[in-house]
Chains A and B, each alone.
Chain A
């Protein structure tokens, strides 16, 4: 935990981070929405803030945008303190969850809005807006009103509108939440490519761990107003820092301190990913160095297309889920309650420090 936090807050060089949050706190009434968050987001980084609803990730985004003022703490944008600045004074732009397109304006006027309020003359700003709409493949719809577009198209307009004013940081508040799965996956790829080609820092808020894993350079996992862990997708998935992260990101088999004690003689919770477990249907344990086996009995199956999730109740241990990619040696009815052995490599085990340690 301390290692990953340190990696998240110091860039290792003298480079000024795009966004620097220090002890950022926001209290609504009795609720501490954001609790002393320290975070450095690097230049040109695709950073995702991942967490369940109510974990404070959206509030942090709104604090960076300036829609809310923090109760305490500071926000720096490229080294300059913007904590008390109004949204129109900050060089960051937001893509809203509901897109927030102006319903009374055509697409070109929507996109040109930011240029208009900055005083750019009419022809010039409409020209720029048209180019921006072309970039998101909406060039032929410039005269339409937002109500005449589909959700995915509105999303692109919102993106074009935010990017046309060339912000230093783009904030995205669950922008793909309202799209269907196919469109969502397509937009994930497009967003990532767009970010890479523009080189702008993206801060992406999502509750979808798969989305965060596929798109991000780094991920900050939020829980109860604090950041539990910061790291690359790989680090977050392979080396979750605590039980919350292990459970929230992907599926985890958690052994509590007592169960871990009986397996490894170490009284600390541990986690193993389902794809690291192997099921021996005949019940024979693997006897190799660095491999641990436990017997148990099968309780249920979930077929997920590319594999089957097999749930096994370990004898004297937790119920675990193993991801079995190959075909099962029999029907579900034949296999349920069958005594099996579950094995895993010891280096697949991640030790999870209990909270507060």
Chain B
């Protein structure tokens, strides 16, 4: 191999594997910083194995992967057998093509269509909670089958087609022939099909996301839903472990000698066969053990189930020896119910998570989730109430409601006669800046984000509502009732700011600010504090407008009960809400989430105050606390009317596209490339036609 070839190959490998190498490296980092390696430690691995929710998700993922891949392997192998033995070649090819289509299909199409089907069938048979383990299992089996067929088919094709005949000839019945002769020839295809199905099932996110119901969370869904907060380094550890296991599986599948369907020229010796058989046995023994363990752990008594649907990383979950709020509720409520009913009642909280209000809305609206408690944000609560998708709470069942501060009892989104929601947390946007580079005299308002002194080190939200919000707060425009002219003004401000902005970011804000790559950015108070914890040069303030009034976004997340929940289940849900308002879980959750808590049991608790230390005055800044009602009434984002929403999207696009020669360049380059490809294809076709012209019609038809 030439030297340049070697370098090229090396570069490709670096490109492919560097991210994984970094991931593995940082899984051993002793601090949770993402930009510096503080020292070697197994801390995150330890943390991973003490994180009950993640382990549960891992267990779920494994059960799902094993069951679905075993079922898919059996069905797929039988299908391949059938297809292989089809006499009519046209039908055979058609079936194979049909088999391949689902693999080409975008996963999102598969996922959504599956969900629709399940909901439709669920309605037909009048089942209240359609989606669940069963549906996601069916979905996984369905998308795995084509891959098994695809990996078994070539083995059938490679097999001497006289082998089954030889078996019949020597006295085998067709079944014996399959079992004794054909099976050993295709076993490596079966194993690699199984492994492929297994790995696909393990890391599937999209299809699971649409077909999964309450009470069952797989690992990819859990990791994805962590994005409300930051992805913690124990996820690096988990990813590293998953990567390693997949690597081992791949090695095993290579070991069985089935390298991606390439026809084996060399005959396979019996020794290799024997080795394969051992691998085969080992794989299945492993499956048997795990499945067995899982089955044993699922024997139950009478069980009351509460299905909770919350943001990711939004409850104290027992990790790091902390208080496990859900577990505590299960124990507490099981005791209460057992006493009440006179026999042992098991309580089980099925806790699953989502990543955006819109996702939550879609699930609630389609009525497939079967959730008892949900935690939407302010504007979404307002919308759910308006559309009748949540039901009024019976406050008699939630005595702890009295501990909610008065300012938070009737917020703008739920201030009617009935009470539909109990506030869980709230957060206020502030500005984070680096004290090393930013002068004290420049801080105080939103104009810091427009300060030309810090050009190239300013971060702006990569989200239309928040970005426009910052300009509107600065200009004193009402974010909910702005006229088109006012929207245009805000756009002009953002256009003016654009040359100063380093980048438009969401979660990247953590890295950019902690690494001092950028100096100024806006984010929620609780998150700002965790950044300051990682880099002491950072500081934080709540911006005021030119009138000296606090002008910034506030959000609240509140617990609600969807309309479909039965009388009986609603009592349990209310018990859950009530429990979360009681002292111990409320404090644990507040400490874990690190956002503002509206519960006086928390805010007046000396331990909590001590735990927060200086941060207490940031989160519960007395000046801010005095103005909470103003913030809620004037600055919180409300649902925009559709015409304003469309305007916002248009203006946001205008901002992003405006005068950006780079983007235009991309269009031009892609256009040129596309034209080039089309041109080349046309050229090839014309050349082919020209070459054929002379002889094409003169060639006699041959059979």
Task: State whether these chains interact.
Answer: no
Interface residues, chain B, with chain A CB atoms under 8 Å away: none
